[in-house]
Amino acid sequence: MNIIKKTALTFFMAISLGVFSTVVLAEEAVSSSTSSTAETITHIEKALEEVNKGDFSTARLHFKAARSASEKITGNEAIVKQANESLMKGQIQANQGNPKTSSDDLKKALELIKSIKN
């Protein structure tokens, strides 16, 4: 009888810990995605500033950082994909020295990423 009680108690504790760790992992994933969204928005805004100033070398760093951060965003894959496409188009236009077109593409990407946050 004592063995059955110990086994039942061990089994119950294992299930409780398993449920708790799943909840913690889910909360971490949500907070990570939120911080990645905010980080992506910040880098797109900074890239937009640099493109408007005509400083394409600094903008290139923000393009890379924004694309890296956007890969960590979970959920809304279709919107993230569209935003990444606009971001890449903006980067290509900046590399070609077209600040107006690059700025338009960056604004579109920024609008899409911000729609995820809301």
**Can you give the residue ranges of every domain in the chain?**
34-117
Q: What is the CATH T-level fold of the domain 34-117, as seen in this structure?
A: Four Helix Bundle (Hemerythrin (Met), subunit A) (1.20.120)
Tens digit of pLDDT at every position of the chain (118 positions): 678 877 876 766 767 666 555 554 444 444 455 778 889 899 999 999 999 998 888 889 999 999 898 888 877 788 889 999 999 999 999 889 889 999 999 999 999 988 886 5
Question: Distance between CA atoms of 8 and 6, rounded to whole angstroms?
Answer: 5
Tokens representing 7 are 């086994």
Q: What pTM, to 2 d.p., does this model score?
A: 0.68
- pLDDT value at residue 109: 92
Tokens representing 23 are 């909840």
In eight-state DSSP terms, residue 32 is H
Backbone angles phi and psi of 71, in degrees to 5? -65, -20
Tell me, letter by letter, the H, E, C secondary structure of 59-107. HHHHHHHHHHHHCCCCCCHHHHHHHHHHHHHHHHHHHCCCHHHHHHHHH
- pLDDT value at residue 29: 47
